[in-house]
Structure 1
């Protein structure tokens, strides 16, 4: 599937539509992601903020990540579904949780990050690029057209 990517929280109070293609897709094993994902990683697609439209009320929480950046996590206050996150280091990007997108979106992690924080039982797809900590920011896609 290609854009647009529609999505919603578990209760349907929050909907989203992403009109652009992801800059990157990642699976994150940092401790904060493990805490919000009940012990496993989060699986995410990184989009330009202007490509993500959200309707409905969102709550948010912030904390300082191991990278030193402030992270803001936006979620449905009714059902708790994580919708997206943003880093103070990259306010122009929205890291959308793959689980917030409707089934059949076709996106999957291309990179695994913060592997050094993963529990000993975690397994990683050896075919994916892997980083022990925070990798460099994904490059923005080249402009199209003239």
Structure 2
């Protein structure tokens, strides 16, 4: 399923965002970069940690949930556990929050500053089992490149 070269995308990310000091602007352009480079997705964007909840940030896609409680759904679980969540069928994920009924699989990667989760990158697909281990490793690499560019 994977057709994107994540190493190239990671290098592009570092070049595009190196020295950027506005997190919202970077997240907006990064969402567009992901949306333009990944096939078979219907949403790509960020939820920002604010206290005990996640607040909708910059994204590409349809209208989304505005607030997600920490620990709830795929995004809240990723933020609370500080781990990537790759879900082949979101309808089988206990506590899944259906912001868009057209989404069937999802991957969520924490964005960290100094090891602390400040946001999560959420990518949805209308296909079941869209994301594999190659996507997971590649997207984690790209998010690390974004962290390096923004916070180093």
**Same fold per superposition (TM over 0.5):** no
Write 1 or 2 for the structure with the bigger share of helix.
Answer: 2
Could you tell me the TM-score, scaled by structure 2's length?
0.28
Write 1 or 2 for the structure with the bigger share of strand.
Answer: 1
Larger Rg: 1
Could you tell me the TM-score, scaled by structure 1's length?
0.29
